[in-house]
Amino acid sequence: MTHARYLVLLLLLSSLAVAEVKIVSGFPASSFTFEYGDWYDNWGIDRNYYGGPHGFLPNLAYETIGDNKELAYRIGEWFQENYPDKTERAIAILKYVQKWTEYGYDSDNVIRDGIPQDEWAWNADEMAHAFNETTGVKAIGDCEDLAFLCCTIYMGAGFETAMVDATDHVALLIWLPEFPNANDYWDIPHDGRDAGWIWVEATGSSNPLGWTPPDFEDGGWTAYPIGSSQIVPEPQPSEPTSDFTDVIGIVVVIVLWIMLSLLRQRRPY
């Protein structure tokens, strides 16, 4: 094989190696990368921090709906098929989540690379796969984990949802103005409707649907409407937050430069 053919083959293999690094990142929550002191999933969402463009609130909700719907959404579809009355369905979903989840602190239950995580958010499908109705195993999570799980299940069951960002707390609202027993009916600004959102609080095993905890009855929190089960923004996977691909590219350039230098030295004059 001539030197030119060796060079072409090297270029081809190098390009395939770089392409493979990008392909690996194409599935929701398939991998995690540690950068700048936080863990990011392959959608580029920071699992350790709630705010900002890469924070988990409300971004993590979109990993388990739309084209990415899986187990949690299917649970919601089951409730829609088996509970034709919408009010009964809403109550049954909250009771279901309360039955199969248990509140726990992240620092006691989430460890990455041997280090307990003071803050960590699981998406709805990760929570749904963590409990097992056959063996009786419950999923453990804190407020945002339970809220994300509820969000996707309710959407699969045909409800409109909104994630609640309150002081040191995350919860869920669903649009159900006909519900008779809520202690508050909330109005989200600029949604074109009057009050009719009710609170979903899954952090306690006996909290009833529509009960807004006293700490949040005065408002002062933010609600992020996620959409309906029919209208869902499509999330786009982010490029890996790691610079690993750039490193490979630099290495390839260096190798090619060395190869070209060797070819020049061996060229007959």
Among residues 107, 154, 147, the alpha carbon closest in space to that of 127 is found at 147
Sign of the Cα pseudo-torsion (229, 218, 200, 136, in order): positive
Asked, for residue 260, whether it belongs to a domain, the answer is no
Tell me: pLDDT of 44 over 70.
yes
Asked, for residue 66, whether it belongs to a domain, the answer is yes
Rounded to whole angstroms, the Cα distance separating 111 from 79 reads: 33
Asked, for residue 22, whether it belongs to a domain, the answer is no
The residue range of the domain holding 161 is 32-227
More confident residue, 228 or 151: 151
Asked, for residue 237, whether it belongs to a domain, the answer is no
Rounded to whole angstroms, the Cα distance separating 76 from 204 reads: 20
More confident residue, 263 or 159: 159
Q: For residue 267, what pLDDT is reported? A: 45
Q: For residue 46, what pLDDT is reported? A: 98
Amino acid at 170: V
- What six digits make up the tokens of 263? 């070819």
Asked, for residue 158, whether it belongs to a domain, the answer is yes
Rounded to whole angstroms, the Cα distance separating 168 from 175 reads: 23
Q: For residue 30, what pLDDT is reported? A: 76
Tell me: pLDDT of 241 over 90.
no
* CATH code assigned at 137: 3.10.620
Question: Which DSSP helix (H) or strand (E) runs through 165?
Answer: strand 161-166
Domain count, the chain: 1
Average pLDDT over residues 53-66: 96
Rounded to the nearest integer, the mean pLDDT of the chain is 82
- What six digits make up the tokens of 169? 């707390």
Cα 22 to Cα 25, 45, 63, 251, distances in angstroms: 6, 17, 19, 16
Asked, for residue 259, whether it belongs to a domain, the answer is no
